[in-house]
Amino acid sequence: MSRILTPQIGRRHVLRGIAAAGAAALVPGAAEALIAGRPLVTTPAQTEGPFYPTDWTGDIDNDLVRVMGEAAQAQGHVTHIVGRVIDSSGTPVPSAMVEIWQCDATGIYRHPRDTHWFRERDARFQGRGRTLTARNGAYRFRTIRPVAYPGRTPHIHFQVITPGHEPLVTQMYVTGEPLNERDGILNAIRDPRQRASVIVDLEPAERIEEKALVATFDIVLG
């Protein structure tokens, strides 16, 4: 099963904190919708982008900050992403494959076509990861706070794969980022409720890991 490791604190404490964080929130307005018997706002599909990982071999677990064989961890602000995969009635979706990929702290993807002559990719950043949802639909990742690069506001790519359904590709954004208002891909989501559903708050995660951040990103399948 996928792992979450940190050098500062014990693994059991990390997992306990992440479980508590994942249970703390649901999609904005979800509780009210379920009480009223209304379907939840589904997570919008978005572009996969040009840098979907070409290599899923090696270390592809849910801890993107530590790469096997590397002595140090990745550059960037450690961020825990927790959430659940559910359907529009609020029913958990177990055993769904959740993939994420994002650029490193300098704005470079782990992809052969994303090259920059003036700087190198952070080899200590895993760049992509996979995990399966639990019976209650929960998933978690340990990664870094997404950063902006030319043309895009900070974001993390997600893909959810469930048996018998088309994969859902979407992106997660950060509340308060100035570039959000000008990001063409984010603002192509016309339904304001769907657009709000992919913008998350980053909060201090001291109960999980010292100096880290945590965000809750629940994914609602249509």
* Segment 167-214, tens digit of pLDDT: 999 999 999 999 999 999 999 999 999 999 999 999 999 999 999 999
What superfamily does domain 11-221 belong to in CATH? Aromatic compound dioxygenase (2.60.130.10)
* Segment 78-87, tens digit of pLDDT: 999 999 999 9
* Segment 70-107, tens digit of pLDDT: 878 999 999 999 999 999 999 999 999 999 999 999 99
Rounded to two decimals, the pTM is 0.84
Alpha-carbon span 191 to 202, nearest angstrom:
23
Domain boundaries, the chain: 11-221
Bridge-based pairing of strands 168-174 and 128-132 is unpaired
Of 195, 194, 81, 213, the closest CA to residue 138 belongs to 81
Beta-carbon contacts of 178 under 8 Å, excluding residues fewer than 6 positions away, are none
**Percent of the chain surpassing pLDDT 70:** 83
Instruction: Give backbone dihedrals phi and psi of 185, rounded to 5 degrees, phi first.
Output: -70, -45
Look at the block and give the residue holding tokens 């043309």.
151
Alpha-carbon span 122 to 102, nearest angstrom:
12
